[in-house]
Chain A
Amino acid sequence: MLQILKARLHQQYRTFPFPDKIPEMAPRYTGRPMIATGTCQNDCTACINVCPTGAVSCGSDHRPVIDMGRCIFCRACEPACPAKLISFSREFSLAARHKNDLLISSSEFKTAEAMGAEIKRIFGRSLKLRQVSAGGCNACEADCNVLGTPTFDLARFGIQFVASPRHADGLLVTGPVSQNMKLALQKTYAALPSPSVVIATGACAISGGLFRGNSEVNDGIGDLIPVDLYIPGCPPNPWTILEGILRFMGRI
């Protein structure tokens, strides 16, 4: 007993006062991509060629567009661009309500707005989520799990991961949705009481990520079930996930 008390004193109070204070990301952390003003060199496709997930494309103004829904934040495009148009910030606020909002073509980004008033009335102060890993590699899963630890203390926001879809207000889906998990995902969604919300977490769930194009996966959630919030990353930093969910709930 004394040992337990001693350990309690040693371990201290460690909950970070988010969102009142903004956590400092590691110096080498890769956050939101930015496209600088300027023009590409003639017919250059260097950034497109080096991207392992096909996240970079050529926009209508012949400048690069980065789809954060596909991006694994590997930075390969950054040094590849001879015109130095692409850079990555340390900004970790990445969640969006619509897939199109994830397309980055400048230094601008439209962060996720809150859920609609009626849904917010129901879920704004308490959101119970069921997590479904559908081919997830356990990195996104680990960064969801960590939200329950004292540093993040998810429960203080009224958010909790629950053990059954029957107890849940929504799903948090990770993974590219393997063919072998498609049915289980649909059934879990059907078992949610309505109204419900769906959060796609990680490049895989949004677009298939690194596995996009493999016949063994569904290239993400796609139109299997409706998605209300997209949280990009490979995996997203836990702060990105928490920040995204809080914005969605209208708490930030």
Chain B
Amino acid sequence: MEIEGFRQHLITLTQKGVRLASLFVLPGEQPTMIAIVADDETTELELFACQCGRKFKALTPQVPQAHWFEREIAEIHGIEMLGHPWLKPIRFQPRAGQNREISPGVTDYFEVNGEEVHEVAVGPVHAGIIEPGHFRFQCHGEKVFHLEIELGYQHRGIEKAIPTATPQKIIRLLEATAGDTSIGHATAFAMNYEALAGLKPDKNASLIRSIALELERIANHTGDLGAMAGDVGFLPTSSYCGRIRGDVLNTTGLICGNRFGRGLVKTGGVGYHIDATLKQQILDKLTLIEADLISAIDLIWDTPSVVSRFDETGHVSQEDAVTIGLVGPAARACALLTDVRLSHPFGAYEDYPPAVPLIEIGRCGDVNARATIRWLEIKESLRLIRAMLADISAEPAGCNTTPLKMAASSISVSLTEGWRGEICHVAVTDAQGKLQTYKITDPSFHNWFGLALALRNQEISDFPLCNKSFNLSYCGHDL
């Protein structure tokens, strides 16, 4: 495709409400820009490419979803983007072959001037046990006009390290891409590897992967609901959920020994089987967990002082959510039906489609909606896990450990629905069947700007609450 045709096609698609799942450039003498778009309605996934050259007119003015992606491309490849409204570093990573010292966080920021307008800068090191990032608030009194989020402190060079690593190491790197989404990212890589090497995991392996993914979802939603309660000073739910989250992680620990599911997903299958005894242990644990969760989380909506703090705080309109391409529970809280498990089912989800909960229009987009959606998703995940557990047969789940050759000169795209939303991985192999480029798009990459929008016209003291309602990944973004 020519760049102009590429642009027009992307504009047409995104105006229909189609999501840009990934946009990146394959380096080389003739840099190639690749767009991957996911249509939740037709359930299609489209990939198209163009020779973008070293300079082109930015897509962002017409395709706001491309905003972050274009900043990333400009930073990594040094491609000039004419007319990009806010072209600044996204990770403060030195360009390939460049040895220049880079000062993280040192860049242009929006400024608001006038009487009583002030600026609040927070981070990179935060007050709790949280990953680092820098936040700039432009405030008028307590009111936030704008929040600008500057990340990159967590950049560890994962994408660069992948092509030279063995598949066994790559999967470990992806487990640590965002440590709370180990299963989501490891599964996405395994799917790409399997597609390129011509493998198909057996049914039990697919079931175990999905069970682990749902446990990951429950654990994180539980922790976040507790943290949201903590941020409005409601300690009962906060204290119970913190502990229950641990119980859910320990359930994953029962399957593979590691609370975060490290080593559970392997290329070609899974590392551990769930036999009848373990199945019963998990079911027993889930019964206790469910009772504890109901007792702890229902308190939120039984307590008017909590609901009044959640209600109408951190609102993101549905229109904005579509424009910036929000994904995951943050999008579903805006009444957008987007869920990879449903639109592009992978692994076991073809046979076990989730009943994806949605918040109705009129009650959507605020912290209350994001909290509600997470609680509904926990319940649905519990149902899914039970249904999947019941169908695991006695035959041990397989795992192909022999090294295989990947298809040469190929491209493979995998989508999974992590607990924060859509995870998109793209693998590109060279003529020898070796990985040439591996592109990772964590849901946080789409959603950080949503948090910035949520803070508009809020009080600065609402930041922790809004932040926790999204709970985005710093390292998943920074890679």
Contact = CB atoms under 8 A, between A and B. Distances in A.
Contact of B263 (A74, A140, A210, A211): A74
Contacts of B296: 7, 11
Nearest to A163: B127
Given A146-B246, A150-B243, A133 B295 contact: no
B155 A29 contact: no
B93 A216 contact: yes
Contacts of A141: 129-131, 179
B125 A132 contact: yes
B236 interface: yes
Nearest to B281: A27
Interface stretch (A33-41, A110-118, A174-182): A174-182
B129 A145 contact: yes
A96 interface: no
A180 B302 contact: no
Contacts of A238: 246
Interface in A99-155: 131-146, 148-151
B18 interface: no
A181 B104 CA distance: 8
A143 B259 contact: yes
A138 B127 contact: no
A76 B178 CA distance: 22
A149 B257 contact: no
B152 interface: yes
Q: Which bracket fits the contact residues of A?
A: 35 or more
A26 B253 contact: yes
Interface in A174-198: 175-176, 178-181, 183-184, 188
A142 B180 contact: yes
A135 B295 CA distance: 36
Nearest to A134: B132
A184 to B, nearest CB: 5
Contacts of B246: 146, 149, 151, 238
B232 to A, nearest CB: 14
B236 A7 contact: yes
B182 interface: yes
Interface in B26-82: none
Contacts of A150: 239, 242-243
Interface in B285-336: 291-292, 295-296, 298-299, 302-303
25 contacts: A3-B298, A3-B302, A7-B236, A11-B240, A26-B254, A52-B165, A52-B172, A74-B263, A133-B131, A133-B132, A136-B154, A138-B131, A138-B474, A141-B179, A142-B223, A145-B128, A149-B239, A149-B243, A151-B243, A161-B128, A178-B156, A181-B132, A211-B161, A215-B157, A234-B176
